[in-house]
């Protein structure tokens, strides 16, 4: 037989776990600075849930005006905050306005219902709205678990705890219709309340652990990106570009060719000496922006050092590389750098080479493209040389 003490212990455990989870999310947001907006939303969601359950547990002890309507509104707000946090974690877009509108509308509806006697309709409203908000968050999480930097998908079933919470809330609403004589009070030692509270305890732990895992995944991906990206231009750094080149050369033996485009900004030292290094950095960033439309998703664009860049073009021959390089040359040439209210003409020299079966390593292809680029320099710059 279920005793009131068991039910109260379960309720207290959920309040404690939600409160501790709120503190952990605050630390992630303000101390570790990991997904700060989404982490703060999760902290508020757990905090609102903990306070809502605490007010529910203190009904009959606190004044009714404090324990009933505020507790129900906070419960709905916790689901809305959860729904806002999930897209912030999975897609980095904090969607809060729809949830805020739902909370406001629900608060007005609950305010119109009398908080005396039978409270089943209040419980039905809270559980129905909570189920809808959590289901929407679960669907958003399922869809938002997209591709990682390595091209793999984060497992969409990580969104299942949210869907289970929605089903649990819906079941509580349905139960109030199937057994209309039952009380909506979670403190009552009924079989349904006992199962509900145990399920809520497990799902609270699982939901926070799952979303914390997704946040840590974001941190790992950010670190991986920093390790392979040039901090100034956000292109691949030399190490990452060399790895991509070696991978492409390994595929050459299986019949998949590639071409290289080497790029060197013209008169870069003169620009730095005349306008300063800040202008030189701006010129490099501008050139990268101009070149990006020419780079396909399968291509690899990297900064090899200083003002020198390389573009790896898989499944491309020398003719195709020449077309790409000429388009790049024209884009750089037509857009001068605007610096301190004056225009500085920009141009670049391009060298291209196609990988051949006899190339012992990717370094041989790189050397030919590099030699072609220096011939372009010697021919007066702003040209493409193969």
Q: CA nearest 65: which of 54, 55, 77, 51?
A: 55
Per-residue pLDDT, 182 = 65
Q: What average pLDDT score do residues 169-177 get?
A: 90
In contact, 7 and 194? CB cutoff 8 Å: yes
What's the CA gap between 334 and 321, in Å, rounded?
20
What's the CA gap between 82 and 130, in Å, rounded?
10
pLDDT tens digits for 45-85? 999 999 999 999 999 899 999 999 999 999 999 999 999 99
Residue 358 or 149, more confident:
358
Secondary structure (DSSP) of 150-202: TSPBPPGGGGHHHHHHHHHHHHHHHHHHHSTTS---TTS--HHHHHHHHHHHH
**Which phi-psi region, left, alpha or beta, contains residue 369 (left: φ > 0; alpha: ψ -120 to 50)?**
alpha
Per-residue pLDDT, 146 = 53
Mean pLDDT of the chain: 90
Per-residue pLDDT, 154 = 57
Residue 225 or 229, more confident:
229
- 151 has a pLDDT exceeding 50: no
Q: Which of 74-78, 116-120, 215-219 has the highest mean pLDDT?
A: 74-78
pTM for the whole structure: 0.69
Per-residue pLDDT, 152 = 47
- 116 has a pLDDT exceeding 80: yes
pLDDT tens digits for 231-264? 999 999 999 999 999 999 999 888 889 999 999 9
pLDDT tens digits for 291-349? 999 999 999 999 999 999 999 999 999 999 999 999 999 999 999 999 988 899 999 99
């Amino acid at each position: 037989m279920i005793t009131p003490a068991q039910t109260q212990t379960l309720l207290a455990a959920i309040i404690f776990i939600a409160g501790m989870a709120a503190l952990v999310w605050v630390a992630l947001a303000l101390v570790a600075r990991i997904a700060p907006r989404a982490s703060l939303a999760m902290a508020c969601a757990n905090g609102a849930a903990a306070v809502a359950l605490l007010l529910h547990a203190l009904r009959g002890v606190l004044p009714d005006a404090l324990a009933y309507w505020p507790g129900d509104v906070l419960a709905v707000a916790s689901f809305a905050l959860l729904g806002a946090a999930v897209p912030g974690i999975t897609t980095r877009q904090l969607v809060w306005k729809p949830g805020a509108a739902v909370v406001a509308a629900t608060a007005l509806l609950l305010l119109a219902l009398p908080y005396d006697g039978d409270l089943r309709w209040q419980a039905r409203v809270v559980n129905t709205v909570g189920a809808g908000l959590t289901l929407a968050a679960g669907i958003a999480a399922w869809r938002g678990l997209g591709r990682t930097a390595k091209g793999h998908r984060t497992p969409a079933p990580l969104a299942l705890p949210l869907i289970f919470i929605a089903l649990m809330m819906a079941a509580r609403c349905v139960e109030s219709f199937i057994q209309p004589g039952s009380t909506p009070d979670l403190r009552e030692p009924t079989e349904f309340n006992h199962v509900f509270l145990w399920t809520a305890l497990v799902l609270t732990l699982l939901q926070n652990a799952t979303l914390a895992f997704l946040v840590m995944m974001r941190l790992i991906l950010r670190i991986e990106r920093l390790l392979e990206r040039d901090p100034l231009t956000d292109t691949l750094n030399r190490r990452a570009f060399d790895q991509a080149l070696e991978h492409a050369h390994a595929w050459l033996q299986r019949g998949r060719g590639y071409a290289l485009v080497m790029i060197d900004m013209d008169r870069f030292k003169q620009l730095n000496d005349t306008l300063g290094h800040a202008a030189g950095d701006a010129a490099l960033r501008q050139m990268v922006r101009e070149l990006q439309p020419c780079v396909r998703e399968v291509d690899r664009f990297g900064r090899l050092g200083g003002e020198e860049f390389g573009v790896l073009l898989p499944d491309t021959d020398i003719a195709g590389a020449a077309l790409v390089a000429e388009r790049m040359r024209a884009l750089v040439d037509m857009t001068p750098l605007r610096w301190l209210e004056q225009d500085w003409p920009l141009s670049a020299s391009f060298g291209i080479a196609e990988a051949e079966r006899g190339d012992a390593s990717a370094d041989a292809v790189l050397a030919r493209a590099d030699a072609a680029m220096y011939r372009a320099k010697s021919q007066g710059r702003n040209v493409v040389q193969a």
